[in-house]
A = this chain, B = another copy of it.
Amino acid sequence: MGNTFGHLFRITTFGESHGGGVGVVIDGCPPLLEISEAEIQVELDRRKPGQSKITTPRRESDICEIISGVFEGKTTGTAIAILVRNQDARSQDYNEMAEKYRPSHADVTYDAKYGIRSWQGGGRSSARETIGRVAAGAIAKKILQQVAGIEVIGYVSRIKDLEAIVDPNTVTLAQVESNIVRCPDSECADKMIDLIDQIRREKDSIGGVVECVARNLPKGLGMPVFDKLEADLAKAVMSLPASKGFEIGSGFAGTLLKGSEHNDEYYLDEDKEIRTRTNRSGGIQGGISNGENITLRVAFKPTATIGKEQNTVTRSKEETVLAAKGRHDPCVLPRAVPMVEAMVALVLCDHLLRHHAQCNLL
């Protein structure tokens, strides 16, 4: 359980850091969508390790193979399976971690829950697990674009205490991809890169905040009560490794305002469309999109695996000290950007189908 996400556009992921590979099965994709391995690869390349000096040096080309569900370049409406083989696995790096639990990592809890753990590279708790999400997200993004011109753009908005200035209403993918930290504020990006590089040399790690915006949304996505759009978005991104917090619109800062300051007043635009002048709601009211941009933020903690010495215990219950070997990201944020985008796209695509089913039938 727990390896499936979504209700109508539904993905099931599989695979571990080491072993046969990782992948995803996508169920419920509309038929006749043109899709190629190359399009999926673009997103996987944004996620893959070894892409720059501030990511883990593990070398994985992460080449994807579409096993099924696509015929002559188009989706057939049946299950799409995508597989990425593992390549540069170095199990020996993990020999020590087979026995010594990494603090704040999943080692202890997996062992406690299952009594067994694929300890090589973290097994299922490795961030390689997100490959399937990103591959599926590439397809979700294409559907969103094609059906309604919706675009989903994520970016690093803060690294530790370095806060970028970005306008979610105008930021472009090109700006995000213009530097290796994926922060569209290029001045701040330089500082971020320097900081991450310095932390890497200290064998330590840092975290930060990814912001994500979805634009051109139709009104009406999302549902009352439990499957509110912000609830499904929260679950989606809080299921990413290392995430510790979620905000929609004004988030925690909004709690400092009075209602009269916080409310987004309505007006009619030139097309007599109902709009809000401000967007503290983050594009969602009562769980349903109001047509304004959806804006959300995700907090990512500093990477748990670090080269510095830490006190810990062993599987056989001895206290010990661990300085982790293996190849790890000093900061997950740059690679988390495509992950957040993928999860947001998956939620929006699922709700697009759900809304269409219920509200465009009669």
> In whole Å, how far is A224's beta carbon from the nearest beta carbon of chain B?
5
| CB-defined contacts of A25 to chain B, threshold 8 Å | 3, 12, 14, 25
Interface of A is mostly: mixed
In the complex, residue of chain B having the shortest beta-carbon distance to the beta carbon of A24: B25
| CB-defined contacts of A79 to chain B, threshold 8 Å | 3, 12-15, 124, 225
Given contacts A209-B255, A239-B287, A265-B310, contact A247 B299 (CB under 8 A): yes
Given contacts A104-B285, A109-B288, A227-B239, contact A256 B28 (CB under 8 A): no
Cross-chain contact A226 with B312 (CB below 8 angstroms): no
Copies in the complex: 4
The docked-state distance in angstroms from the alpha carbon of A5 to that of B1 is 12
Question: Is A76 interfacial (CB-CB < 8 Å)?
Answer: yes
Cross-chain contact A359 with B30 (CB below 8 angstroms): yes
Question: Is A123 interfacial (CB-CB < 8 Å)?
Answer: yes
Cross-chain contact B204 with A260 (CB below 8 angstroms): yes
Cross-chain contact B103 with A14 (CB below 8 angstroms): no
Question: Is A245 interfacial (CB-CB < 8 Å)?
Answer: yes
Question: Is A325 interfacial (CB-CB < 8 Å)?
Answer: no
**What sequence of 0s and 1s flags, for each residue 136-172 of chain A, a beta carbon within 8 Å of any chain B beta carbon?**
0000000100110000000000101100000000000
**What sequence of 0s and 1s flags, for each residue 277-302 of chain A, a beta carbon within 8 Å of any chain B beta carbon?**
00011101111111100000001111
Given contacts A161-B256, A260-B306, A359-B113, contact A13 B268 (CB under 8 A): no
